[in-house]
Structure formats: C-alpha cells, structure tokens
Chain A
Amino acid sequence: MIKVQNVSKSFGNTDAVKDISFEVKAEENLILLGPSGCGKTTTLKMINTLIKPSAGTIYIDGRDVMHQSPTILRRSIGYVLQNNGLFPHFTVAQNIAVVPQLLKWEKRRTEKRIRELLEKLHLSPNYLQAYPHELSGGQQQRVGLARALVADPPLLLMDEPFGALDNVTRSKIHDEFKALDELKRKTIIMVTHDVQEAFELGDRICLMDKGAIVQAGTPTELLFKPINTFVSDFLKEQRLSLEFKTIQLLDLWNWLPAGNNQQQMNTLSAETDLWTGLESFKFNEVEVICILHHQKNEFRTVEFEQLMAAFYQYKRTLSNG
C-alpha cells in the first residue's frame, strides 16, 4: 500500500534521513523504532507531506504523494500526534468533527459517527461539550485517536501517540488499541522510541539509527536474528520480557510433555504468548495450565517448570539453527 523509495531529507547541513526505502502492506502495523534524532518522525511526516523530502519518492496506493493536493491527501490520512495536539479552543465534539467538516459531511452523519466512535473508545458522551483541558491525559489521547479515525481513513500515521501517558494508562490504552476493530482494518505506521510498545503493537518493526534503517523485520526476527550489535544492544535491556511476549505457546509445542490430553478448567489457546501463559499460573493460582492447539485439536497440560524448560530448549534450537 505504501512504498517509500530512496527517500532522503536534509535540514541545512544535517542529514535527517538518508536514502531509506521500505514498504508497508495493507492492514499492516509498521513501527518506526529508534533512539531520538534517528529520523523516524521526519520519515513519518514525509508520508503526509508535512515535511517535503529532499530526494526520493513516496507512493500511497501507487500514487506519488507530492503529486497530490496536500490538503485532500491529508484529509484521507489519519494523524495522531504526541501530546495529542487537540485544539484547545474547540470542544471534544468540535475537535473530532474537524475532518468531517473539511469534507463537508452532513451534520447528522458526523454526529452519528462521533457517537459511535466515543462508544468504541469508552468515552462518555457527556464529554462531547467539554474542552480538552478538562479531560485526563488518557481521555485526551482517546479523543485524538477519535479525531484521526472519524473519517475512516485507510491509513493512520501515529507520532509517539502514547508518549505522554503514564505507564498504567499506557498499558490500558495498548490493550484497547489492540482490541479496537476499527484499527484491525487499517494500515498503521507508528513512531515510538519505546521497545516494549513496538513489540506489543507492531506486525513489523523498522529499527532506525542516524537517519538510516538498520534492520526491518518482524519482532521475532529482530529479537532472534539481529543483523548487528546495534540491534541486539538496543533490545538488550528488555530482552527476556520481549522474548516472553514474542514467543507463542505454539512455538514450544514440540517440547511440551504430552500426556493427559483432557481439557481442563483453565485452557489457553496455543496462540497465546508465553508471557500471558506464565502469568496465568499466578493469576489463577493453579499448579498446571491446559493449552489447546486448535489445528491439531490437541491438549497439553503443563506445570510452570515444564513450560520454562520448553522455552530454554526452544531457544537453544534457535541459536543452533
């Protein structure tokens, strides 16, 4: 859907982005990850032409973005900013209605759509007449998201959307974000410097440094097949928790002890990640958990130690392979 081809951007003598290329498929979540100053935000803003590239071309659905009316192009792309960028002099309703108004929607259609979105984003309609400063940070971020989604654009650009939130609010919004059906149909490009967030929300990750892409791939690829020390160092601190979150119980299937194939009370899908699997021992205060492999229609009942053992064996195979 999106094709970034040999794009560079320099501000004066500084090269912010150096000859990068990547593609994003429809309905994919691509994360631009990297330390501050790596050029990820500049890259994002070149997609909706907030910043004009110095060289190279960006295509959306095969059309060069620079050859389109910038206002019409931008109205068809959702945009969520760090610190939400809500209009302080507009009410929540007016903020969300900005793009519909630019697109000259009928009033009733706009209102209906806003109510629908508020419900999906768990915001009370009582807030419609409130001003942004009257809302909490998390609520503001939801309004910012609603504003980007209101015209149902196929593409969503997000610049550190959860950067200003505290950890509790952030993980809550992450869960909602993953659960939101509106977003499942969208192509999303998100900028973040938060590794956990990137792994949690991204289908694919572009790790950038000094204006260039160091490695692009799935979270598993970055984690287990880093192409250089920059990549492995960048992930080092949270390595274990990233591994737990990236590996699915399915991956460990061959090392899980067979036996007692009876379904039990606490059954998890094999597509669950290992982190959730390990957590369910604690949350449910159980000795064993039951895992269901849908395709094979098999069960495994395992203890905590057996699960961990399977994890180490899996990792050994990866490093040998």
Chain B
Amino acid sequence: MDEQQQTLLNFMWEQSDKLLIQMLQHIGLTFISLFAAVLIGVPLGILIARKKELSGTVLSVAGILQTIPSIALLGFMIPVLGIGAKPAIVALFLYALLPIIRNTYTGITGVNPAVKEAAVAMGMSEWQTLFSVELPLATSVILAGIRTATVINVGVATLASYIAAGGLGEFIFGGISLNNTNMILTGAIPAALLALLFDFLLSRAQRLSFKTVGTAMKIAPALLILLASLYFIPSAYGGKLTAGFTPEFMGRQDGNLGLQSKYGLTIHTIVISDAVMYKAAYENQLDIISGYSTDGRLKAYDLFTLQDDKGIFPPYYAAPIVSNKALRKFPQLEKTLNLLSDKINDSIMTDLNYRVDYLHQSPEKVAKDFLMANNLWRQEANSNTGIIRLGSKIFGEQYILANIYSMLIKGYTNYGVATKTGLGGTKICFDALTNDQIDLYPEYTGTGLLTILQPTQRTIDSLAGDKDKTYQYVKKEFQRRYAVKWLKPIGFNNTYALMMRQKQAQDLGIETISNLKHYLESN
C-alpha cells in the first residue's frame, strides 16, 4: 500500500481509534488546566481589583509567564515534574492565567461606580457587593478572558505530546518527522476545529442575557470538570509495561507499524520526544523506549538494547551525502571526507555521543579530541578558495559529525566551512541539499531508503536488511534521481532499537523483541 496515495479521510478513518483518544486527551488537558486557571485566576483578579497596588506586580508576573516560549516552558517543567500530564497541565495552566486574571481585573474595575456605590449604600457587605453586583456585571468580560485562555490552551496543548502527555500533537509531530501531510492534518484539523468550536460556544455564552447567565454560571463548573475528566478515559486502561515512542517511530514501517505487523506486538504506548525519553526510561516512568543504537545515553542510563530477531529495523549506516555539483566545484572534498571512512564503529560513536549528551562536552571538543586521538587533526589551513556549506540534523551525533567534517575540511583543504546545523529533520536536510542550500550532510542508509526513496515493500524485502545491498541501492538511486552521491560509510550503524533498563530486562528474562511480546502476552 502506498501511503502517498492514501486520502486524508482514509487515513483519519484508519486512525479513528487513536484520533478519538488523542482528541479526548487534548480536550482533557485543555480543560484541566483551564479549570485550575479559573480557580486561581479569578480570585487573583478580584484581589488585585480590590488592592490596586498589587495589580502591577501580579499582571507583569503573569505577563512574563506568557512570554516564555511554550516549548521552553514545557522544558523547564521536566526537571521538576518529570514527563507526562503533570508538567503539561502546569505549563498550560500558567499560560491560561494571564488572560483570566487580566479580564477579571478589567471586568471588576470596569463596573459602573454609581452601581457599585448603590450596592454599598443599600447596605450590602463587601462580599454581597462582589457576588451579587460586581461579578455578575463583570461576567462577560471574564468569559472573554476564559475564551482567550481556552483558544491558547487548545493550541499550546498540541506541544504536550513532546513530553508524553498525549493530545493531537502526537499526529502533528509524527507527521512532521515523517513528512506525512495526512498525518499532520489528522492532528491539525481537529485541533483547529476544537479551537473554533470552543471559541464559538464561549462567544455565545458571553452574549447570554442577564436572565440566563445565572443558570449558566451554575452549570459551568460541572461542565468544566466533565470536559477535564475526558483526559483520564484513555489512560484508564493501561498495561503491564509502558512504552514511550517518538512521534516519528510511531508512524514508521521500520518502527511501531513494523512492531505491530511483523511481531504482533501490542503495548500500552505513550508518545514522547526523544529529548526526554531516555531519562524517563531510566527513572522508571517508561519501560520500553525506541532509541538509537549509538545514542550516548544508552551508556549513561545503563539501557539494554533488545535484539531485533525478525529484522524489522533496516541497517542505518552513516555516510556523508554530497551533491554532484559540490563535488565538481570542490575537487578535494571527496578525498577529505573519506578520511573518516571506517574510523568510527558503534561503540566509538556511542562513546562520543555519551560525552556530548551526558557529560555535556561541546561537540567541537569531542570532535577535536577524536581527531587528535586518531592522528587526523591538522591545524587550520588558509581558507580562501570557496566555502563549503555543511548541514546536520538536530541531534548530538550529527553535531559531532558536522564538527569532525568541518575540522577535516579546514585542515586538509583550502576551503572554508559554513555550518547549518540543527536542521529539523530528514526531509528538511535533504530538501536543503537538493535545493543547493547546503553541499553535504551526514545521512543514514536506512533513512535514505525508507524516508526519502520510499521503495515498494518488495524492494525493501529484497534488500533483506543487508548492509551492503542497502548501501549500494541507495547510492545508485540517489545518484540517478537526485544527482547526490553517497560517499564511503563512516562505519557505525545507528539503527532504531527497542531498549529497556538493563536490570528490568534481566529480571524479566527479555533479550529479544520476541521475548518481550511473549512476556506481554503471558498472564
């Protein structure tokens, strides 16, 4: 089946189970945090309307919280609250605070002073004035704040999937990683519709007459709690072990799809960004993760790689890929890049990654140390005969490789180097290469095969996970289709792998993925 030709509706229909779960999670996340924000924000707004000297401080603190980029706010939460729903809810709560506090404040201070004076002069106490005059008259302004907060939350909640809190972001980020437009839209369209729906409903609530607004206010808390509780429906049925897979892994044939079709593996899965996945496994929040076999954190967190006994993960041998145009323009380039060929095996790469990811050494230092140790390092030569544009994807290993290549080029040639590191994904890197925005970047054979070439299943089967066959195939096809050359492999195989904590794997006697399936199905 060719995924490209699949229509959006087909895709949504196929994924309807997941879509429903993600939507419930999304609504739940939005409203749990909104409920908390109303609970805190409205009284805070009332307080600063009473004590105006506090209003500046409170509003600017809430304003500053609002300016923190959402993804960074989620990042700040992880060390404190770990992964999952908790940090996501706290982050969303913080975002929702400002509009609610500000509108409560504006609403209350905006009540006609004559009406307020009348209330006091009739002999109402401060609380009576608040509840029977000020709050009812401020309701529509407060609701406008809640409406803003809701729309913000529906949007920001898509980021919650980065830290394993679920929601429609799982489709969106999976789709971005896999360059699957249908998948992106399957997440994005419902998210947009949810935002529009809640915006519309709240705008109607805002226009309620004074007659009905009282009743509406009584129903509102119950409705909020109901919507908030939707989050817990999907997680009510869990399993023995919990897996955390990246959005990309979730959608790949050589990922979760293959696990399901080839192994028949079904496991309680949450979607999580690889930045926090390893630590979460180490801290027992996850049991199985989809890692990379050369990831430095493997070593840092003492993780055990399950053997892929049915061979669903194709070989991912790394090699620089260069546009033909650059090779012609810079004759010394190929020879220089090939200096690294067969120099880095799996364990060396894991160690290099470990230094960067875990010991927090800079990629430059790790690259230089490696070259020195292998007698490859040379002082920078004059660079005046052109600039080579070097790309890399956005993870540590690629940064290290980019630095190594940069130093080699500077040391062995007269070329200068401009690096464009941190490109967001395979598709972005590759498009930059074919559009002549970069000259080269390190790529993996398996990725080249499955993500870029996307051959038929028969072709994939014919390569049968064979290292050399795969390399030869991508080399030939890239040259033919894109005028891009695969240089010699660097040596290591950074393939997908399932990993567990060493101790848990031993305790459960799990060494292969088949063992894992067997364990999950027993008792």
B213 to chain A: closest residue by CB = A89
**A87 interfacial by beta-carbon distance below 8 Å:** yes
**A147 interfacial by beta-carbon distance below 8 Å:** yes
**B119 interfacial by beta-carbon distance below 8 Å:** yes
Shortest CB distance B111–A (Å): 10
Question: Which residues does chain B contribute within 8 Å of A89, judged by CB atoms?
Answer: 133, 136-137, 210, 213
**B384 interfacial by beta-carbon distance below 8 Å:** no
**B123 interfacial by beta-carbon distance below 8 Å:** yes
A203 CA to B290 CA in the complex, in Å? 93
Select which of B121, B124, B125 is within 8 A of A50 by beta carbon: B121
Question: Which residues does chain B contribute within 8 Å of A85, judged by CB atoms?
Answer: 112, 114-115, 117-118, 121
**B216 interfacial by beta-carbon distance below 8 Å:** no
A300 CA to B121 CA in the complex, in Å? 51
A102 CA to B118 CA in the complex, in Å? 14
**A1 interfacial by beta-carbon distance below 8 Å:** no
Select which of B114, B121, B128 is within 8 A of A82 by beta carbon: B114
Shortest CB distance B121–A (Å): 4
A86 CA to B116 CA in the complex, in Å? 10
Within 8 A of A (CB), among B171-218: 210, 213
Q: Are B136 and A74 in contact (CB under 8 A)?
A: no
Shortest CB distance B457–A (Å): 67
A122 CA to B245 CA in the complex, in Å? 77
Contact with B along A66-96 (1 / 0, CB 8 A): 0000111111100101110111111000000
Contact with B along A93-105 (1 / 0, CB 8 A): 0000011001000
**B39 interfacial by beta-carbon distance below 8 Å:** no
A168 CA to B411 CA in the complex, in Å? 99
A-B contact count (CB 8 A): 59
Max chain B Cβ within 10 angstroms of own Cβ: one of A75, A89, A131, A147: A89
Q: Are A86 and B120 in contact (CB under 8 A)?
A: no
**A140 interfacial by beta-carbon distance below 8 Å:** no
* Contact size range, A: 20 to 34
Interface of B is mostly: helix
Contact with A along B490-515 (1 / 0, CB 8 A): 00000000000000000000000000
**B122 interfacial by beta-carbon distance below 8 Å:** yes
A90 CA to B211 CA in the complex, in Å? 9
Question: Which residues does chain A contribute within 8 Å of B123, judged by CB atoms?
Answer: 70-76, 99, 102
Q: A87-B133, A88-B210 are in contact. Are A79 and B121 (CB under 8 A)?
A: yes
**A48 interfacial by beta-carbon distance below 8 Å:** yes
Question: Which residues does chain B contribute within 8 Å of A74, judged by CB atoms?
Answer: 120-123
A72 CA to B136 CA in the complex, in Å? 24
Question: Which residues does chain B contribute within 8 Å of A88, judged by CB atoms?
Answer: 112, 115, 137, 210
Shortest CB distance A162–B (Å): 15
Q: Are A81 and B118 in contact (CB under 8 A)?
A: yes
A86 CA to B117 CA in the complex, in Å? 10
Question: Which residues does chain A contribute within 8 Å of B112, judged by CB atoms?
Answer: 85, 88
Q: Are B115 and A71 in contact (CB under 8 A)?
A: no
Q: A71-B123, A88-B137 are in contact. Are A102 and B117 (CB under 8 A)?
A: no
Q: Are A83 and B114 in contact (CB under 8 A)?
A: yes
Q: Are B122 and A81 in contact (CB under 8 A)?
A: no
A98 CA to B133 CA in the complex, in Å? 11
B209 to chain A: closest residue by CB = A131
Q: List 20 A-B contacts (CB under 8 A).
A: A50-B121, A71-B124, A72-B123, A73-B123, A74-B123, A75-B122, A76-B123, A81-B118, A83-B114, A85-B115, A85-B117, A85-B118, A85-B121, A86-B118, A87-B115, A88-B115, A89-B136, A89-B137, A89-B213, A98-B124
Closest 4 CB pairs between A and B? A75-B123, A85-B118, A74-B123, A79-B121
Other A-B pairs, 10, CB within 8 Å; known A85-B112, A98-B122: A71-B125, A74-B122, A74-B123, A76-B123, A79-B121, A81-B117, A85-B117, A88-B210, A89-B133, A98-B124
Q: Which residues of B contact A (CB under 8 A)?
A: 112, 114-115, 117-125, 128, 133, 136-137, 210, 213
